[in-house]
A and B are shown apart, each in its own frame.
Chain A
C-alpha cells in the first residue's frame, strides 16, 4: 500500500509537471500581446521611446529572456514555492490565492452537500422502484437537469425569487463565513450575509451535480440489489429499510465516491459561471478576469493549484476506496 501511494504520488508529480509545462507554453505563444496591452497605458511620443518602454515592460514582467530561460526561472521559483507576482496588482500570487480559495471552497462544499442530499434519496427510490412511473419521472428530471445550463437556471432562480418572493440576496456586500484562513477574504465576518449569498448558487450548482451522482448511484444500486448478500439479507427476514440502507446503499456508495472526488477537484477551480452571476469573490471570477488581462502568473498559479488538488484528491479517493472496500488491493 505504501509503495502504491508512493508510486502514485510520483506519477501525480509527473502529471503536474506536464500541466505546468503545457500552461507555460500556451501562455508564451503570444507574449507581444501582453506587452502591447501594458504599453498602451504609458504615454510615449517617439518610436524609440516606445520600444524602450516595451523593453522595460518585458523586463518588469519577466518576459525578456528566451523561452527556455524563462522556463528555467519559472521552474526554479516554483520549486521554492514562489508563484511570482501578478502583473496587474503586483501582489504575491500565493497570497492572492489564499484570499480567494475560501469562497470557492465554501461554495463547492455547499454544492456537493446539496447534491448528495438530493441524489441519495432520489437515486435509491429510483433504483428500488425500477421501471415504475416514479422511476421514469425522477430519471427524466435528472436528465433534464443535466441539460439545463447552470447559467440559465441561475438567472431563472435569481429573478423568480425577486419577483415572487420579493427577495434579493445581498450581492453587493460579500462577508466571510469564518474568520480563520481558508474562509477569510478580509471583508469582515457575517455568517448570515454569507449564507444568504451562498445558498442560491449552492442549490443551483448542486442540482446539476446531484443529477450526475443520482444517475450513477441508481445504476450502482441496481447492481448491488442483485448481489447474493442482499438476497441473504432479505432471506433473513430483515426489514426493507435495513436491507436497503445498511446492506445495499452502503456498498453502492463506494463507487459514487469517485464521482464526488472528481467534482470536489473541479470545485476548487471555482465555479466560474456561478461566481460571475452571484458576484462571489472566489477563484473562478478572479481567473476569468486574469485571463482577460493576460495576467500570466495568476493563470499559471491557479491552474497549478487546481491541477495539483485534483490529482491528489483522486489519489485520496483511491486510498479511501481500499479502506472502505477490503476486496480492493493495490499492489
Chain B
C-alpha cells in the first residue's frame, strides 16, 4: 500500500481512464446469472414469490390488539388482492352443480369460479388463496420462534461446552425422540386451537434440529482466530457470542430458515388433514383436503384427469394438493440453491 498510493495518484493524473473499475454487473445481470446457473433454484424462488403474493392484501387494522390471539402476525389483512371473493362468501345462484337448499355446492369451474365451489358453496380458488396466507403466516412465525430459540440454545451450548452442553444436548435428544406428528397433535389438543399456539407448537418441534445445526457450526466458529482475538481483547462471553459469533453463522441460519419453511407448511397441512377439528377452522389446505376425502363415498373418481367425467370435487383436491406440493417444492428448491450460494459446507446432495 505504501508504494501503491503515490502510483495511484500519478496514474489518476496521467491517465484516469486506466483506473476506472470494471463496471459492476447490474441487478438484472445478477438475476440472469442466477437463473442460468441455478434454474431449479430460480423456479423455486418463482414459486415462493407466487405464494407470498397470494397472501398480500390491504391492511385492515394495523396492530389491532383485539385480533392478537387469532392472527399470528398481530394484525389483520383484508381480502388478498389475488382472491376473487371473500373466503366466507356463499354462492346461491344455482345453475349447474348440486344445489342444496339454495346453496351451490360443487359447482364446476367457470369464468366466475376458477376451481368451482366447495361443499359449503364457497369459491374454491379464493379459499385456496386465503389458505396460502395462513400457511405462510404459521410457517414464518414457527420458523422465527424455532430459529431464535434454536440459535440461542445452540450458540450457548456450543460456546460453553462441558457438562451444561451435555445436559442440554441430552434434553434435546429426548425431545427429538418424540414422534413429531404425535407431539404436535398432543400440544394443539391440550391447548385451545388458535394460530399462535399452532405456530409455537410447530416452532417448538423445529427447535431441536435448528439448534443441532447451529451448535455444529458454532463448534468450529468458536475456534476461529477472530473469536480468540475478541476474547483476548477482554470481550465478555455475551459480547463474543452476540457480536462475533452470531454474525458469522447467519448463512447457515438463513438456509435452515428457508428449507424449514417448506417442512413446517407440510407439517401444518398434515396436522389439519389428520385432526381438522383441533386446528383453527379458517381456510387451510389440509382441511380442504380432509373434507375432499371425507366427503367421498368409498372411492369415486375425483382426480384431475377424470374431471372431464364431470366431478367438480377433483378441482378442490387439485387446488389444495397442488398448492401444498408447489409451495413445499418452491421452498425446498429455493433453499437448496440458497445453500449452494451462501454456504456450500452444508451441501447434502
Q: Is the CB of B177 within 8 A of A160?
A: no
**C-beta contact mask, A257-280 vs B, less than 8 Å → 1, else 0?**
000000001100100110011000
Q: Is the CB of B275 within 8 A of A292?
A: yes
Binds A, one of B61-69, B89-97, B294-302: B294-302
Q: Is the CB of A29 within 8 A of B190?
A: yes
Q: Give chain A residues whose Cβ lies under 8 Å from the Cβ of B170.
A: 11, 14-15, 18
Determine how close the nearest CB of chain B comes to the CB of A78; give it in whole angstroms. 15
A128 at the interface (CB under 8 A from B): no
Q: Is the CB of A15 within 8 A of B173?
A: yes
Binds A, one of B102-110, B239-247, B322-330: B322-330
Select which of A22, A143, A222, A265 is within 8 A of B336 by beta carbon. A143
How long is the Cα–Cα vector from A288 to B270 in the complex, in angstroms? 13
Select which of A151, A217, A307 is within 8 A of B178 by beta carbon. A307
How long is the Cα–Cα vector from A216 to B266 in the complex, in angstroms? 21
Can you list 13 A-B contacts (CB < 8 A)? Answer: A14-B174, A22-B178, A29-B191, A147-B328, A147-B332, A148-B328, A149-B273, A159-B303, A162-B299, A218-B349, A269-B182, A291-B182, A306-B182
B82 at the interface (CB under 8 A from A): no
B7 at the interface (CB under 8 A from A): no
Task: Name which residue of chain B comes closest to A11, CB basis.
Answer: B170
Determine how close the nearest CB of chain A comes to the CB of B201; give it in whole angstroms. 11
Determine how close the nearest CB of chain B comes to the CB of A315; give it in whole angstroms. 11
Please tell me the number of chain A residues within 8 Å of chain B, measured between CB atoms: 58
Determine how close the nearest CB of chain A comes to the CB of B289; give it in whole angstroms. 7
Task: Name which residue of chain B comes closest to A221, CB basis.
Answer: B349
Q: Give chain A residues whose Cβ lies under 8 Å from the Cβ of B325.
A: 144, 147-149, 152
The 9 tightest CB contacts between A and B, nearest first, are A269-B179, A219-B349, A18-B174, A147-B328, A307-B177, A147-B329, A215-B349, A15-B174, A162-B299
Q: Is the CB of B182 within 8 A of A16?
A: no
Determine how close the nearest CB of chain B comes to the CB of A249; give it in whole angstroms. 15
Task: Name which residue of chain B comes closest to A270, CB basis.
Answer: B179
How big is the B interface, by class? 35 or more
How long is the Cα–Cα vector from A311 to B178 in the complex, in angstroms? 10
Q: Interface on chain A toward B: helix, strand, loop, or mixed SS?
A: helix
Q: Is the CB of B301 within 8 A of A216?
A: no
Interface centre among B303, B332, B333, by most A CB within 10 Å?
B303
How long is the Cα–Cα vector from A276 to B181 in the complex, in angstroms? 13
Select which of A19, A144, A215, A294 is within 8 A of B174 by beta carbon. A19
If A143-B332, A147-B262 touch, does A291 touch B186 (CB 8 Å cutoff)?
yes
B189 at the interface (CB under 8 A from A): yes
Apart from A19-B175, A219-B348: 18 A-B pairs, beta carbons within 8 A: A15-B177, A18-B171, A18-B175, A26-B186, A26-B190, A30-B190, A143-B40, A143-B336, A149-B321, A152-B289, A158-B299, A216-B348, A219-B347, A265-B177, A273-B270, A302-B182, A303-B179, A307-B177
